[in-house]
A = this chain, B = another copy of it.
């Protein structure tokens, strides 16, 4: 596939891309910007501007409190039903609420409670730190003899399922993993992992933050127990958009939220003094849903559904393989290494390239004085340059130009212009 290595091929691939029209649905007007950070904060869908404005000016501004009766009360469920369609779940198994951290807390606590006699909590060192922190907090909270084990990756990139299997046993209450890991983009086989946990009687909680919207997620098909996920990455919901959670239908009765807020109560507007949980997935709500942010999610979910997650994933895999071939050809000789699995079936939708000068290279990529364009990846300690592929708007030419710039920065030692001292928060 030598032809990938030219700009001409990249432009031809873009011209033939069946999803190419979707890029126009996003606000990407700056010709000097290449944005490869949709895995951290998705780009603004154009229609979201009008939708948010409608919520502010009409629903809030004009209809005021009446909007609760005219749509807000069920908005968290409506948005959730669109997410359900993307993650292979039934509509009544998903709700949008709170942040990923708070939702993770609720479900992990609920799992530990019903598995009370078991004391083992299992995750891995590739997991997003917030999830690990929350587990540490839960272990501190439930006290006593709970223990957290983190399966170690051999190469810092992927996990051998047998390594995980060894750690799951009859004492394991909860296994929780990122479906796609945040740094290396390693993607777990959800079905197999779920099966091996279930064989030992453990529950599994998946964090879909780095997979939802970019790779297929088939919760029901995998018999998944619980999941949480973020909506401001590939779901393009905007900064700090509310998260979602999933609980398989037959588990909903058994699991209980620790946070008995009124929106999770059976009839919040009866204002009785004794809590009774709502029926079904609503009981995992806590406070009043964030209506503005909820509404900002709508457009992007429709775009993803209309494009189809399989087509999105197919382009993601192809772009990832192009990027990796470019890496081998141009970047490996310059000290870069691949921080992600080569096999697209074991990868999510971003590719990490590692370099000992990774931080300074990121700064050079972003600086428009170097090469004439602002190229935005993100950096993850200690040396990962994450290049996010969002198939609805990432072009092949974006990837080509980025690789050329990564090459030029090291060849010209342009990264030396920058301090290695960390001053970016993300």
Q: Give me the interface of A with B, judged by CB distance under 8 Å.
A: 27, 30, 35, 37, 40-41, 43-44, 48-49, 52-53, 56-57, 59-62, 64-69, 72-73, 98-102, 105, 125, 128-130, 132-134, 136-137, 141, 150, 183, 230, 232, 238-243, 257-263, 265, 268-275, 286-294, 296, 366, 376, 378, 380-381, 422-426
Q: Which residues of B contact A57 (CB under 8 A)?
A: 27, 44, 49
B56 engages A291 (CB within 8 Å): no
Additional A-B contact list (17), CB under 8 Å, known A41-B68, A243-B287: A43-B61, A49-B56, A69-B425, A102-B102, A105-B286, A129-B265, A129-B268, A133-B260, A136-B274, A238-B291, A238-B292, A239-B288, A240-B288, A240-B289, A240-B292, A240-B293, A241-B292
Contacting residue for A137 out of B98, B100, B260, B366, CB 8 A? B260
Q: Which residues of B contact A56 (CB under 8 A)?
A: 44, 48-49, 52, 238, 296
Q: Which residues of B contact A292 (CB under 8 A)?
A: 52, 238-241, 292-293, 296
In the bound complex, CA of A125 to CA of B274 (Å): 11
B61 engages A41 (CB within 8 Å): no
Q: Do A286 and B102 contact each other (CB < 8 Å), given the known contacts A52-B56, A260-B133, A292-B238?
A: yes
- Chain copies in complex: 2
Q: Do A68 and B425 contact each other (CB < 8 Å), given the known contacts A133-B275, A287-B102, A291-B238?
A: yes
In the bound complex, CA of A43 to CA of B57 (Å): 11
Q: Which residues of B contact A426 (CB under 8 A)?
A: 65, 68-69, 269
Give the interface centre of A128, A134, A239, A425 by most chain B CB atoms within 10 Å. Answer: A239
B66 engages A376 (CB within 8 Å): yes
A65 engages B378 (CB within 8 Å): yes
B60 engages A238 (CB within 8 Å): yes
In the bound complex, CA of A35 to CA of B425 (Å): 43
5 closest A-B pairs by beta carbon, nearest first, are A99-B287, A101-B261, A137-B260, A130-B262, A101-B287
Q: Which residues of B contact A105 (CB under 8 A)?
A: 258-259, 261, 286
Q: Which residues of B contact A67 (CB under 8 A)?
A: 239
Q: Which residues of B contact A289 (CB under 8 A)?
A: 240
Contacting residue for A262 out of B41, B133, B288, CB 8 A? B133
